[in-house]
């Protein structure tokens, strides 16, 4: 047990470190050069850094630390050690990348860097004074993928994003508006700040696309690529359906006895969860097994227990 717990913690902190490094790289090398702000304190830091100079990491840590302190004071110590570690890891990696490793030049661009803008060519200036021809769409897709993988790894390590999410949590406590709505509002305001600051309608639109791609990739990283189906089968031939599930699909399930609402007749309902491929086999054979069966199918993103993912140890 001790060895398994050590291995789990080691993997957890490894995910935290790699995720924090990826997030920093995505922000400095893909998001900031294009003057985008896909939510969070680092999105706002990109705007401040471009407008008034200074390092992204310094702007962000100046917001993150007070938010952690205020959040702990108002909401209690619910953020955890890993969230605090992640906050300072992202700060450290961001500072290193922008100061010594890369700077503020984009990775993806359609033209060479020049000292000043070339007349007649649509160019973007980074906040360190270099000009380049942007490739907005490709850069947006890559930035969303990197952000998604990074934050997904941080979530899987057991940490949370902190930052501007703390503002949403505080507002949720006093307004009772749903947390998801408040996160959308806060990040939406940060995203729209690029339009106010730089006057380019493309920037908030591309920032929203980053957020969309990021959300989809986070789901893949956290939940995996497997898609499960849960079927509730009301049948008069429960023995036949049961034998097919056990012997042909090699799956388990639960048989529940119920009562029909209309005439009070006793009915059997089989509750079974399986991978999509097994469900396709079951669906194609149900008419043969019981033409009168009633089936309710539910998408299940995560299944834990015997035959599926192990239950968490903590």
Domain stops at, among 223, 243, 275: 223
Residues 129, 274 within the same domain: no
Report yes or no on 309 lying in a domain.
no
| Residue 6 shares a structural domain with residue 25 | yes
Q: Per-residue pLDDT averaged across 287-305, rounded?
A: 85
Q: What pLDDT shows up at residue 4?
A: 73
Burial code of 153-186, b = ≥16 C-beta within 10 A, e = fewer? bbbbbbbbbbbbbbbbbbbbeeeeeeeeebbeeb
CA 65, CA 84: separation in Å to the nearest integer?
9
- pLDDT, position 59: 96
Lowest pLDDT segment from 46-50, 202-206, 211-215, 308-312: 308-312
Are 60 and 182 members of one domain? yes
Q: Could you tell me if 57 and 87 lie in one domain?
A: yes
Q: Are residues 52 and 190 in the same domain?
A: yes
Show Cβ contacts of residue 53 under 8 Å, excluding neighbours closer than 6 positions: 127
Q: Which of 78-82, 97-101, 111-115 has the lowest mean pLDDT?
A: 78-82
β partners of residue 268: 235, 257
- Tell me what pLDDT residue 180 has: 67
172 vs 296, higher pLDDT: 296
> Given this model, what pLDDT does residue 314 score?
57
Same domain for 144 and 73, yes or no, is yes
Q: Is the domain of 209 the same as that of 259?
A: no
Q: Are residues 178 and 43 part of one domain?
A: yes
Prediction pTM value: 0.81
Q: Is the pLDDT of residue 169 over 60?
A: yes
Show which of 169, 192, 223 is a domain's final residue.
223
Are 175 and 78 within one domain?
Answer: yes
Which structural domain range is residue 280 located in? Answer: 228-300
**130-143 per-position pLDDT tens digit:** 899 999 999 999 99
Q: Are residues 216 and 245 in the same domain?
A: no
Secondary structure of the chain in HEC code, one letter for each residue? CHHHHHHHHHHHHHHHHHHHHHHHHHHHHHHHHHCCCCCHHHHHHHHHHHHHCCCHHHHHHHHHHHHHHHHHHHHCCCCHHHHHHHHHHHHHHHHHHHHHHCCCCCCCCCCCCECCCCCCCCCEECCCCCEECCCHHHHHHHHHHHHHHHHHHHHHCCCCCCCHHHHHHHHHHHHCCCHHHHHHHHHHHHHHHHHHHHCCCHHHHHHHHHHHHHHHHHHHHHHCCCCEEEEEEEECCHHHHHHHHHHCCCCCCEEEEEECCCCCCEEEEEEEEEEHHHHHHHHHHHHHHCCCCEEEEEEECCCECCCCECCCCC
HSE value, Cβ hemisphere, 13 Å, CA-based, for 211: 20
Residue 290 falls inside a structural domain? yes
Same domain, 265 and 148: no
Q: With contact defined as beta carbons under 8 Å apart, do 229 and 301 qualify?
A: no
Give the pLDDT mean for 79-99: 92
What integer is the mean pLDDT of 54-74? 92
Give the residue from 189, 223, 257 where a domain finishes.
223
pLDDT class of 113 with cuts at 50, 70, 90: confident
Query: Does residue 8 sit within a domain?
Result: yes
pLDDT above 70 (res 217)? yes
């Amino acid at each position: 047990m001790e060895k398994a717990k050590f291995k789990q913690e080691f993997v957890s902190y490894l995910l935290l470190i790699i995720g924090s490094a990826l997030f920093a790289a995505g922000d400095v090398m893909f998001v900031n050069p294009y003057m985008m702000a896909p939510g969070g304190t680092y999105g706002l830091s990109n705007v401040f850094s471009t407008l008034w100079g200074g390092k992204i990491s310094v702007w962000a840590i100046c917001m993150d630390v007070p938010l952690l302190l205020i959040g702990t004071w108002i909401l209690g110590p619910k953020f955890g050690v890993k969230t605090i570690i992640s906050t300072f890891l992202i700060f450290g990696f961001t500072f290193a990348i922008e100061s010594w490793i890369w700077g503020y030049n984009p990775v993806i661009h359609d033209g060479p860097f020049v000292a000043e803008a070339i007349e007649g060519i649509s160019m973007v200036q980074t906040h360190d004074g270099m000009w380049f021809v942007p490739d907005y769409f490709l850069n947006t897709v890559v930035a969303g993928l990197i952000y998604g993988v990074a934050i997904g790894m941080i979530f899987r390590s057991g940490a949370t994003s902190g930052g501007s999410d703390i503002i949403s949590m505080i507002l949720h406590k006093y307004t009772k508006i749903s947390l998801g709505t408040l996160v959308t509002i806060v990040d939406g305001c940060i995203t729209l700040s690029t339009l106010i600051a730089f006057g380019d309608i493309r920037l908030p639109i591309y920032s929203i696309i980053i957020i969309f791609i990021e959300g989809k990739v986070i789901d893949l990283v956290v939940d995996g690529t497997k898609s499960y189906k849960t079927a509730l089968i009301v049948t008069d031939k429960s023995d036949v359906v049961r034998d097919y599930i056990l012997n042909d699909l090699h799956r388990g399930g639960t048989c529940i006895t119920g009562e029909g609402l209309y005439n009070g007749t006793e009915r059997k309902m089989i509750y079974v969860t399986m991978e999509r491929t097994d469900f396709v086999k079951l669906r194609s054979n149900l008419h043969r097994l019981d033409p009168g069966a009633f089936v309710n199918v539910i998408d299940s993103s995560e299944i834990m227990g015997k035959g599926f993912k192990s239950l968490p140890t903590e």
